[in-house]
Chains A and B, each alone.
Chain A
Amino acid sequence: MADLREMYQEVILEHAKSPRNYRALEAPAVRAEGYNPLCGDRCTVYLTMRGDVIEDIGFQGSGCAISRASASMMTQSLKGKTAGEAEGLFKSFHQMVTGRNSHGDRPQLGKLEAFAGVSEFPARVKCATLAWHTLEAALHGEHVPVTTE
């Protein structure tokens, strides 16, 4: 069961049970919707920007433990970051969950390191990245729901 615990770490399970920033933001916040057609998971990300900085961020949706925890921890790690920094984090995060970088290459991920175990479960990469794909759409002002396909 080592692999399982590697993915379902305590911190992930805890965020899945009580996600942070689980709320809609009022206008003029931007919002984007994400959808994983494979499992029917949905995610809405809300952003309030001050200039280039993410001033506030929230999310709502239904999904598995991995996708909820990922969305929750993403919102925590992005408050106060610039759009460019957020994109950089996503890139690094994406490489981590697809097993394409190593621990030493991603010092900026911090707590998000908890998702490294996902790389052992290729079928679950989309769960871990749904919120991030949705974030990207919100940053780019795309209003068509994004999908992970």
Chain B
Amino acid sequence: MSAPVALPRQEDAAAIGTRFDVGKVRSDFPILREFVHGRPLVYLDNAATSQKPEVVIDAVSNYYRHGNANIHRGVHLLSQRATEEFEAARAAVQSFLNARESREIVFVRGATEAINLVAQSYGRQQVGMGDEVLISAMEHHSNIVPWQILCEEKGATLRVVPINDAGELRMDELERLLSPRTKIVAVAHLSNALGSINPIQQIVGMAHARNIPVLVDGAQAVPHLPVDVQEMDCDFYVFSGHKIYGPTGIGVLYGKATLLEEMPPYQGGGDMISSVTFEKTIYNKVPHKFEAGTPDIAGVVGLGAAITYVNGLGLSAIAAHEHELLAYATDRIGALPGVRIVGTAKEKAGVLSFVLDGIHPHDVGTILDLEGIAVRTGHHCAQPVMDRFGIPATVRASFAVYNTLQEIDALAEGLEKVKEILG
């Protein structure tokens, strides 16, 4: 197998160079100067979590050094400042997703909590005995299990839209599975195990034609694709800060205001109320109704800084850079004898999953690690995807704004070494 590389290396590098100064971007990320097992770090595990630029690290640390106070409850200066910063980050997320109103942005722990919130609040209110929840065969466990829990509690049924051999959603099956019993559709924007991009607008159109709301799991999509929730017209959109250069422990639920208004609270506590007596509690307005307790304020501030950073580079430029990386990696790694790429959807981003003939991904991961190359090996929290392809695991290289073609060459050379040792 000798698939031709799309462009000669030099041209490729130059093409990227005009769009993007990768060297400059790399210098924004202090961790990229680390050595691992005596080798420069080649970080290709961005779908698990991305690294953090200095501006994000500084925003978090400056908040604790100079601004720390609780929000929405103090008359003192620091509390007011913290509240302003917190709400400014909400506005930044609003415009990042192009949401209509900032109250449509709810801060949560991450994509996982956002999906659980919708399942436990919207889901428990709307899904009943005999109803159906429709997900896809390429979902992360966090977009499967919350719905299973709901369905079990309610006596509802979880239905799954299958994928084809390329790892693309079977739209014909989606059409067939949407039924009068379907109460919500929950689907990934970009698959973490395969890299497939789903046609969200089309899915939303099909579901809305039957008055079914759609939740989109954007955990993998937001770092790689410009997202416009009004254009997609999805009802809920969720993501995690840590995959888009922000801190861990903070994430976002976008929900249409009309839906959020009607939904019961998820957790009870401070901040989510407007008045409490032992007889009756009146809930606060959205989004505060869904933000019980002291939130991860530093995390929100850090996420705000991450979004500012991403906006500064421009998501279209980031997407173009990562597209080059993926195209080059697909050719370079795909051309290695014994490599089979898992997930060959026409629309793909950010992720290259593959298996090596006769060599288990776990062994690949260990040997690459000693070369300083961090990849993910395993089922990527998407066991049903592995079952679909009849494999226990894959090796996954996933790309970010700071990755280079040289790093993909290092991966290819690392894989040659793997074959030399284990082949």
Contacts and interface: CB of A to CB of B under 8 A. Distances in A.
A79 interface: no
Nearest to B359: A65
A84 B90 CA distance: 62
Contact of A39 (B361, B367, B370, B421): B361
A40 B363 contact: no
A4 B421 contact: yes
Contacts of B359: 65
A65 B386 contact: no
Interface string B302-335: 0000000000000000000000000000000000
A63 interface: yes
Contacts of B363: 8, 64-66
9 contacts: A1-B421, A39-B362, A40-B386, A41-B362, A62-B392, A63-B360, A65-B363, A123-B366, A124-B366
Contacts of B367: 4
Contact of A65 (B383, B393, B422): B422
A57 interface: no
A39 B392 contact: yes
Classify chain A: how many residues form its interface, as a range. 20 to 34
A11 interface: no
A64 B360 CA distance: 5
B42 to A, nearest CB: 17
Interface string A24-46: 00000000000000111110000
A149 interface: no
Contacts of A5: 421
Given A40-B379, A121-B366, 5 more contacts: A1-B421, A4-B370, A40-B386, A40-B393, A127-B362
B143 interface: no
Contacts of B422: 8, 13, 65
Contacts of A124: 362, 366
A42 B363 CA distance: 15
Contact of B362 (A1, A8, A42, A64): A64
Those 8 A-B pairs whose CB atoms lie nearest each other, nearest first: A64-B360, A64-B362, A40-B392, A40-B379, A40-B393, A65-B363, A39-B362, A64-B363
A38 B393 CA distance: 10
B136 interface: no
Interface string B337-369: 000000000000000000000011111001100
Interface in A6-22: 7-8, 13
Classify chain B: how many residues form its interface, as a range. 10 to 19
A113 B377 CA distance: 27
A115 B244 CA distance: 40
A3 B392 contact: no
Interface string B379-399: 100010010000011000000
Nearest to B393: A40
Nearest to A124: B366
B378 interface: yes
B366 A39 contact: no
Contacts of B360: 63-65
B378 A38 contact: yes
Nearest to A3: B370
Contacts of B421: 1, 4-5, 8
Nearest to B420: A1
A40 B383 contact: yes
A41 B392 contact: yes
Contacts of B361: 39, 64
Nearest to A123: B366
| Residue in A3, A62, A65 whose Cβ sees the most chain B Cβ within 10 Å | A65
A40 B383 CA distance: 8
| Residue in B362, B363, B383, B392 whose Cβ sees the most chain A Cβ within 10 Å | B362
Interface in A49-63: 62-63
A4 B367 CA distance: 7
Contacts of A62: 392
A38 B366 CA distance: 14
Interface string A116-129: 00000101100100
Interface string A66-89: 100000000000000000000000
Nearest to A127: B362
Contacts of B383: 40
Contacts of B379: 39-40
A98 B233 CA distance: 53
A7 B367 CA distance: 11
Contacts of A1: 370, 421
Interface string B409-423: 000000000000110
Contacts of A7: 366
Nearest to B364: A64
Contacts of B366: 4, 7, 121, 123-124
B29 to A, nearest CB: 24
Contacts of A65: 359-360, 363, 422
A130 B379 CA distance: 17
A39 B377 CA distance: 7
